[in-house]
Structure 1
Amino acid sequence: MRYFLLLAAACLAFASDKPAYQFYSQKLKAVNYQKVLKEANDADVVFFGELHNNPICHWLELQLTKDLYAEKKTQLLLGAEMFEADNQAALSDYVAGKTSDKEFAKQARLWNNYKTDYRPLVDFARDNKIPMVATNVPRRYASTVARQGLAALDTLPTAQKAWIAPLPLTVDLTLPGYKAMLDMMHGDNAKTAPEQGANFARAQAIKDATMAHFILQNRKPGTTFLHYNGSYHSNNFEGIIWYLRQKQPDLKIVTIASVEVPDTAKPDKANENLASFILQIPADMTKTY
């Protein structure tokens, strides 16, 4: 009798657990973190597609970084959308221990949630001397494309073009991710002119292409490059990955897509094939901002 009471109590305790996340495979089979780590450890490039204000994403990014470093040591490289290419010197100096956190904040354009969400990653890189790459295009150039189109970048000085993917840039607006942007902006109630909508998608593409460019520029054979970015930049193996594949189609790439769902225990069919691994997080998870 006592055994059954203990068993019932254990089952009740299990049933009352409220998991903060659940990983699923590309085909929506539940998998554990160790499976994700194993696949990431064998990859050339890993994309952790985050939700920028989600604490579970940021915590798991740090755990994956720590665990990959424990396996790979000097064979691990880091890169992030959150740092723009023209701030590379400031980022490198801080990671190398040459500047203080206050100096870094003055020298680089840091996101408003840097201290809570990204500083732990950067400080881990600093503590362990892990190279970290500022992969994103400077925002002012993406804004220029959104307003004036890609041709506006042609007149930039050569030195400034070094912070952007090589021009001219091919943008396939029929790719599902970019097409979804166009459809959203050209809906029944949209007031955006067709060319404005196309330029908005091209601004997204210049970010994707630039991140791909700096990943390839810094990646070395035999290493794993772990990249942090908004999930939409790598969902459906598009965005950054499409540009990577144009240059190096044989790269082994692992992607993580983050989604918020009502119940982490129930895979959402809409997320099938979204990424190598789908990270389901409760929709009511507290936010960092």
Structure 2
Amino acid sequence: MFVSFRRFYCIIEEQSYKFVGNEPFFNLILFMRKLIVSLLVLSFSTVVFSQHKLAYKLYNAKGKQVSYKKMIKVMSQSNVVLFGEHHNNPIVHWLQFEATKDLSKRSELILGAEMFEADNQIQLNKYLAEEIDQNEFDTVARLWSNYTTDYKPLVDFAKKNNMKFIASNIPRRFASKVFRGGFESLESLSVEEKSWLAPLPIKYDATLPGYVKMKAMMGGHGGDNLPKAQAVKDATMGYFILKNREAGKLFMHYNGSYHSDNYEGIHWYLKQSEPNLKVVTVSVVEQDVVKKFNPEEKLKADFIIVVPSTMTKTY
């Protein structure tokens, strides 16, 4: 649009000098010049105004604006990406899909997600292999209520491109056992059931700020077992990421941002096992104004997606 307008303006400008002695035509030329300038100003103003309504903005760990292209480049040079999300934010789900698609052009990928529990791996594999259809998958797997809108595109992308998709989370009923009876309650599980979680005993650091904060936020409800229930999820997801990781491939993992924020949670467990592992983390922050980064959010992750607090939720 701008190129066409500017070219038209230049033509008018040239013609105005050719017909200086023709007053009616010259007046017409002046009118056309004013019209073109007005249209240019209006178009530019519309674009500038629209840029004030950003759906998201990317920042690095230091709170500096960074491009999407830069984020993809850094991710492609890592071993594991922990793509944190707010489960009901559509912009983050869209970015997850776009990042996965773009990374697949640079690296071989293995996908994995908190949203699938380890004992549903067989059903997930059957769906990926087209041995069962979507209706049967819905029946046999414990899919989240927002699966169709938010996670099915990722699973179907893996199926279309013959990628592995790992069900990395501990079965919820076992995390509930920890909440009620601590890590000790897991000892009574069968051998098969224990294969669906990180090896026992679960390594645990109660002083990690995230676990301390979780306990404080709940006013002590659940006692020491509340952060332990969180930790067993983090440990299990870390375990299945490492178990299924392959040399030369990038493991792309989707999880709630609280499972990897501040380089804790899954990130902490990964580093405990493989200190030299190159891990990139992503987090999400909701703000009224996305173009002004809140300095309190620095170092929350390698890349921080700031989204409007008014963004529509998927549930």
The bucket for the TM-score relative to the shorter chain is over 0.9
Check if 1:214 corresponds to 2:243: no
Pick aligned residue for 1:134 from 167, 174, 190: 167
- For residues 260-283 of structure 1, give each alpha carbon's deviation from its aligned partner in whole angstroms, at most 9, with x where no partner exists: 111110111111000000000000
What residue number does 2:189 align with? 156
Correspondence 1:81-230 to 2 at 5 A: 81-186=114-219, 192=221, 196-230=222-256
One-letter identity of the residue aligned with 2:265: G
Check if 1:15 corresponds to 2:40: no
What residue number does 2:273 align with? 247
- Tell me by how many angstroms 1:9 deviates: 4.6
One-letter identity of the residue aligned with 2:148: K
One-letter identity of the residue aligned with 1:253: V
TM, length-normalised to structure 1 = 0.93
Q: Secondary structure at the match of 2:197?
A: coil
What residue number does 1:261 align with? 287
Runs of 5+ unmatched residues, structure 2: 1-32
Name the count of aligned residue pairs: 280
The 4+ residue runs of structure 1 with deviation greater than 6 A are none
Percent of aligned pairs sharing the same letter: 50
Pick aligned residue for 1:27 from 62, 72, 86: 62
- Tell me by how many angstroms 1:16 deviates: 3.5
What residue number does 2:90 align with? 55
Check if 1:234 corresponds to 2:260: yes
Runs of 5+ unmatched residues, structure 1: none
- Could you tell me how far apart the structure 2 residues matched to 1:147 and 1:10 are? 61
What residue number does 2:311 align with? 285
> What's the Cα RMSD here?
1.4
One-letter identity of the residue aligned with 2:92: C
One-letter identity of the residue aligned with 1:212: G
One-letter identity of the residue aligned with 1:14: V
- Tell me by how many angstroms 1:173 deviates: 1.1
Q: Secondary structure at the match of 1:152?
A: helix
Which structure has more relative contact order (CA 8 Å, sep 6+)? It is 1
